[in-house]
């Protein structure tokens, strides 16, 4: 697991289990302004790349986020193959400022969960997403009403897992 508040001697983001260290790219940085101390910061041009080897057919992701700009998409995590219907796993803020968790797998369909309410700028949110055959989202401990069924997980093997950006975009 990653705390996103520590780097190794080469500047990489440390996986505390030592299996999947990440690489800071662009203007992504780690400093002391996080909710619980240090945190990673992303402007849309920077991100952390964890490579293609992370596959989770089911699991849980837990993040703290604080967006300073609203009205545009802002990616939290993604593992996406470019092209509509090609396969994706992503957690992001959409242009309407709702948090969206989406999984799509070739031939397996798509599941999507959307937050009950839009988020506010400059406010910390704890977001947890859970996926197995059902997708769920919790924001600040409250289960969101939207749920979905999906036949796949984060098992897209040929694309990188990025934190802070959509890996299918030219800057990610």
On the question of pLDDT at 160 being above 90, the answer is: no
Tokens of 129: 């997403």
Q: What is the mean pLDDT of residues 3-9?
A: 50
pTM to 2 decimal places: 0.80
Q: How far is CA 76 from CA 10, 106, 107, 108, in A?
A: 24, 22, 25, 24
Q: What is the mean pLDDT of residues 156-162?
A: 72
Pairing between strand 99-105 and 148-149?
unpaired
Q: Check residue 32 and give its pLDDT.
A: 60
Closest CA to 157 of 105, 98, 97: 105
């Amino acid at each position: 697991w990653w705390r996103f508040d520590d780097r190794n001697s080469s500047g990489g983001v440390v996986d505390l289990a030592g299996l999947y260290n990440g690489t800071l790219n662009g203007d992504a940085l780690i400093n002391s302004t996080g909710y619980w101390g240090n945190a990673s910061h992303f402007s849309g041009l920077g991100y952390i790349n964890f490579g293609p080897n992370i596959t989770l057919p089911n699991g849980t992701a837990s993040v703290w986020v604080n967006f300073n700009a609203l009205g545009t998409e802002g990616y939290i995590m993604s593992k996406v193959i470019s092209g509509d219907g090609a396969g994706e796993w992503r957690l992001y803020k959409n242009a309407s400022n709702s948090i969206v968790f989406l999984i799509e797998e070739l031939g397996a369909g798509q599941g999507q969960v959307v937050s009950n309410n839009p988020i506010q700028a400059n406010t910390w949110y704890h977001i947890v997403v859970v996926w197995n055959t059902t997708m769920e989202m919790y924001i600040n401990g409250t289960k969101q009403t939207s749920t979905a069924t999906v036949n796949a997980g984060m098992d897209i093997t040929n694309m990188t897992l990025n934190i802070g950006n959509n890996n299918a975009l030219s800057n990610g």
